[in-house]
Each structure stands twice: as C-alpha cells, then as structure tokens.
Amino acid sequence: MNQSELAYKDYAGSVEVSIEDGCLHGRILFIDDMVTYEGQTVPEIQTAFEAAVERYLAHCERVGKAADKPYSGTFNVRIGAELHGKAAKLASRKGVKLNEFVRQAVQAAVENDGVVRHHHKHDINVNVHSSDDVPMKGIATASSDQPALWERINVH
C-alpha cells in the first residue's frame, strides 16, 4: 500500500492536501461509488476515513445494495484475439488453464515490480588451435545476466 493511503476493513483511502482550504481530504479507492471524507490532521483524516467506510457499509445495507469490494479477485482484461490465442495455446502446452497461466504471469510481474525478466544461457563450443596447430576443445557458457562475461571456459 502507498504510504499516503489509509487502510480500514479491506478498504483503501486516499489522502490529498488542499492548501487552498487548509485541510486534508480523500476518497475510498478502488470502488465504483464515490465516497469522500476530510480532516485537519492525520489522526482526523484516519478517523474520517474509517467513519466514511462505516457510513458507506451502513448505507448499502439500508438500501439493500451490495457494497462494492475493493478487490474481488476477478477482473476483465482485453488483450486482442491474437494474443489471447497464443496465451491459450501456451497454457495448454504447459498443462494449466488459461486463468492460472494469466495469474502466474501477473504474479511474476508484480513480484518483479512490473518488469518481466527472462534468463537464458548459451553454451558455445569453442575450438582453439595452439601455435603448433593442435586442436583444443572446450565449452564456454555465457549468461544473459552478464552477456559480456564468460562464466566458464574449459579447454582440453
């Protein structure tokens, strides 16, 4: 959670500063309904946020409406037919359902702060001839983490 976000009962709230009005204000985040609050100090804005969440939940119950949940665990993503097909085929080859494949991809991106890293290595056969033209063979391994650095050279 962002350091400028409030938290209460699985809800997150923003905190903004209004220099003009001399106060702090915010809204409940990640829901479709617009619920706002304000306060003069950090403790006041936290209390106002918690009271806003309670009022929102009470209002929804009173009118018979389901309260929006910040994260339901389900979301729709439009990725285009071609990418959809490629993902479905790759998921099938990996033996997982498409939802699990996408969940793993999102988890990997989140764990890497949105950066997808791919590591691979190359084994290269090296033939070296000595000054007397005697062949010597070996394998050199290069890593994508340090492409200019040879990790190992074995010459026989």
Q: How far apart are CA 34 and CA 72, in angstroms?
A: 18
Helix 98-111 to helix 81-94 angle, to the nearest 10 degrees? Answer: 100
Read off φ and ψ for residue 24, nearest 5 degrees: -105, 145
Per-domain residue ranges of the chain:
5-63, 81-111, 121-155
pLDDT digits (tens, 9 = 90+) for 75-93: 888 999 999 999 999 999 9
Read off φ and ψ for residue 154, nearest 5 degrees: -110, 120
b/e burial code for range 107-123 (CB count within 10 A of at least 16 → b): eeeeeeeeeeeeeeeee
How many Cβ atoms are within 10 Å of 22's Cβ, its own excluded?
8
pLDDT digits (tens, 9 = 90+) for 51-78: 999 999 999 999 999 999 888 788 888 9
Q: How far apart are CA 48 and CA 112, in angstroms?
A: 35
Q: Report yes or no on whether pTM surpasses 0.85.
A: no
